[in-house]
Structure 1
Amino acid sequence: MIIKNNFKYYVEQLLLTLIPILIFNIGLPHLLPILKVVGSTVFLLILVIAMAALATGKRGFIQVIRLISIVNFLVVLAMFLTFYISSFLVLTDAIGFENFLGYFSKIITSFSLAYSIELASALSLTASQLMVFVSAAALLLFGIGMLIKKVLNKNG
């Protein structure tokens, strides 16, 4: 018994595995290196087991691995959001919410690169880290959108 949409399963499994790897290695800069290596190894192991499950074609095994992948993705997403929400709270506590909004309003009203660099330095992010953060957020939103679409298609 083989799943009909093998390509869709591969893409979904790759997204559910590669996004946590990116979050662990790039999105959580203060995580200990050993935890990054262990986390990445676990994620890749889940990917290998998922591909083996697809090769065997056992539907129950595939569903269990898929559920493990989704739970793993959500746990890493929760860690990511907790880290950046707490960082935002520390930032607003340190410079004040009004100053933060002042930086933000300058960027929005002028669309100037100089103000963007000023905000990045206030947030202690380099331009490459800021680009990675925005890219990771876009990938996360895309993945969440695909999961929501899939759930809605099943229910409706």
Structure 2
Amino acid sequence: MQYALIKAGRVTNVIVSSPEFAAQIAPQWERVEPLETEQNQGVGIGWMWNGARFLAPAHAHVAAPRMVSVLGFRRRFTPAEKAAIEWAAVDRADQPDAQRKQAAELRAMLADQAAATFIDLDDAATTGGVRKLEAMGLIGAGRAAQILGAPVQLEERP
């Protein structure tokens, strides 16, 4: 069955899945709406949801969501960057509290990534997290823009 995945009153993706999977991912969305009726045929990315029915987009161009798999996201980082991030996330008792807290924040970010179904490259938590890695010096200057701004490749898609 097809389902519309809705955020901020807009269809951001349409998937084909079982009802069980749709129920499992529902907490990540404002609404997961089945597209089983004839009136919902043709609903796609960019359509609006007014709480009762779908509305066709007013304009022809709708930006596609920029979502990648968790592995696809990790592969946007170099091996050296991944190693630096992992090393900075280690809790070392001999470090000052500020560094230990920063390591805990990194571990929490890594845990969130590992638990994610996909990574939305335009999500505020994603962009903020990658920019924070750059500010911490764990990735080079300008790398946040490269990691977040690179076009989504077919092999990166969830």
Q: What TM-score, normalized by structure 1, do the two folds share? A: 0.33
Q: What TM-score, normalized by structure 2, do the two folds share? A: 0.33
Larger fraction in strand: 2
Larger fraction in helix: 1
